[in-house]
A and B are shown apart, each in its own frame.
Chain A
Amino acid sequence: MSDAVDRDDDRALAGEFVLRLMDDEMHRAFAARVAAEPELARMVRDWEEDLAGLAEAVPEVAPPPRIRQQLRTRLFGADSPRRSWFGLRLWGAVAAAALVAVFVLVQVQTPTAPDLVAEIAAEDRGLVLRAAYSEDNARLTVDRVAGDIREGRAQELWLIAEGAAPVSLGLLTPGAMSQIAVPAGLRPALAGATLAVSDEPAGGSPTGQPTGAVLAAGVFVSG
């Protein structure tokens, strides 16, 4: 009998989890349980399937055509002249015909004074990054001052506004500089927020929340 009650409890909790009704702390604790308990994971999957029916019923709206191109450029760097230019420069600089993967898009621009800056550093300063945000173009530039990304792993940058759960700003590139376009919804949250870098599997956190160790952190202050 009490087993049945527990089961019902878990089933309702799994529904609350999928609906995202739990506070951050409970949500994280439950996510840990889901990862460890296959039966609970099945309940969560069932709710996702059931409730997706609500989304299926929402009318479709065609997104503006430019989004498709923006996405392709963002993901694949297709037709980006900056990338090929940078690639050429690199090839010129690399004397031996070593295999070089270029992940970094370097934007050549006249520097404007950033509105917000942060030093994101590990306690032992084995990893030090400098972040600068300019309101003009809503871009966050992260310079890698010290430390690399571990082989086969990724470093994900998180924005943590006071009292809020971390929101991913994206993956850091292995090179000297990462450029991140800050989504409109997050811009008001930047000043005074903490920036943190976590160690994640290649491709980034699978859950949307940090899953690995926090490698470095810093606070955004006026530039």
Chain B
Amino acid sequence: MASLAEIEAMIARMALGDRQAFSALYDATGAKLFGLCLRVLNDREEAEDALQEAFVKIWRNADRYAANGLSPMTWLIALTRNTAIDRLRARRRHPDGDDGIEDMPARTPTPEAAAIAASEAKRIATCFEELEDVRAQAVRGAYLDGMTYQELAQRHDVPLNTMRTWLRRSLLKLKECLSR
């Protein structure tokens, strides 16, 4: 995969309307971002649509990337994840199939844990280990499954306020670990 500096340069060229830079960025990051769309949406067709939508936004917003202060991969990931979650929530609000939250199997964290490579990922994984399993799962469920407090409370079978308290504490604990 391209280095962060290379990705940053591609985005800068895209901001100037360089179409080749767009293709280069797609080739360098498409598989990572498609993996993310699939992980969030768990539906191939929707993930394909989400990926396209994300890259359209990336192209259109490339000129504003420099101002946001995020590292390039983080920007791409945040934009793609938000796009996928918007779709997921639109689908959940209008379940024409059986996509209700009750039917969603609780995912175990193993596939992600197994694939950890990047140092950023290692750092957060280490800190996740310090959280109780079930609490780490809740944060992961919110980030990768786009779950709301309501849905998390249902999945973990605790009252909503308990869920909120758990999650906030977990976030602060995570932050404390990450800033060590």
Contacts and interface: CB of A to CB of B under 8 A. Distances in A.
Interface of A: 8, 11-12, 15-16, 18-21, 23, 45-46, 48-64, 67-68, 70-72, 74-76, 161, 163-165, 167, 170, 183-186, 188-189, 203-204, 206, 208
Contacts of B52: 67, 70-71, 74
A72 B94 contact: no
Interface string B80-103: 011101111111011010000000
B142 interface: yes
B132 interface: no
B121 A71 contact: no
A189 B94 contact: yes
A165 B82 CA distance: 13
B3 interface: no
Given A50-B174, A75-B59, A161-B94, A57 B148 contact: no
Nearest to B175: A11
A99 to B, nearest CB: 17
Interface in B1-44: 19, 22-23, 26-27, 30-32, 34-36, 38-39, 41
Given A12-B168, A54-B112, A72 B123 contact: no
A63 B48 contact: yes
A59 B49 contact: no
Contacts of A163: 93
Contacts of B30: 62-63, 67-68
B56 A75 contact: yes
Residue in A15, A21, A75 whose Cβ sees the most chain B Cβ within 10 Å = A21
Given A16-B167, A164-B90, A185-B90, A206 B64 contact: yes
Nearest to B49: A183
Interface of B: 19, 22-23, 26-27, 30-32, 34-36, 38-39, 41, 45-46, 48-53, 55-57, 59-61, 63-64, 68-71, 73-74, 77-78, 81-83, 85-91, 93-94, 96, 111-113, 115-118, 120-125, 139-140, 142-144, 146, 148-149, 167-168, 171-172, 174-175, 178
A99 B52 CA distance: 31
A93 to B, nearest CB: 27
B49 A185 contact: yes
- Looking at chain A's contact residues, the main secondary structure is helix
Closest 7 CB pairs of A and B: A53-B124, A15-B171, A56-B121, A60-B31, A63-B34, A19-B142, A185-B87
Contacts of B96: 188
A161 B148 contact: no
Nearest to B74: A52
A34 B35 CA distance: 29
A166 to B, nearest CB: 10
Contacts of A75: 19, 22, 56, 59
A165 B68 CA distance: 24
A52 B118 CA distance: 11
Contacts of B117: 56-57
B172 A62 contact: no
B174 A59 contact: no
B144 A58 contact: yes
B23 to A, nearest CB: 7
Contacts of B143: 19, 51, 54-55
A68 B31 CA distance: 11
A108 B129 CA distance: 58
A48 B31 contact: no
Contact of A60 (B32, B41, B175): B32
A163 B92 CA distance: 12
Contacts of B34: 60-63, 67
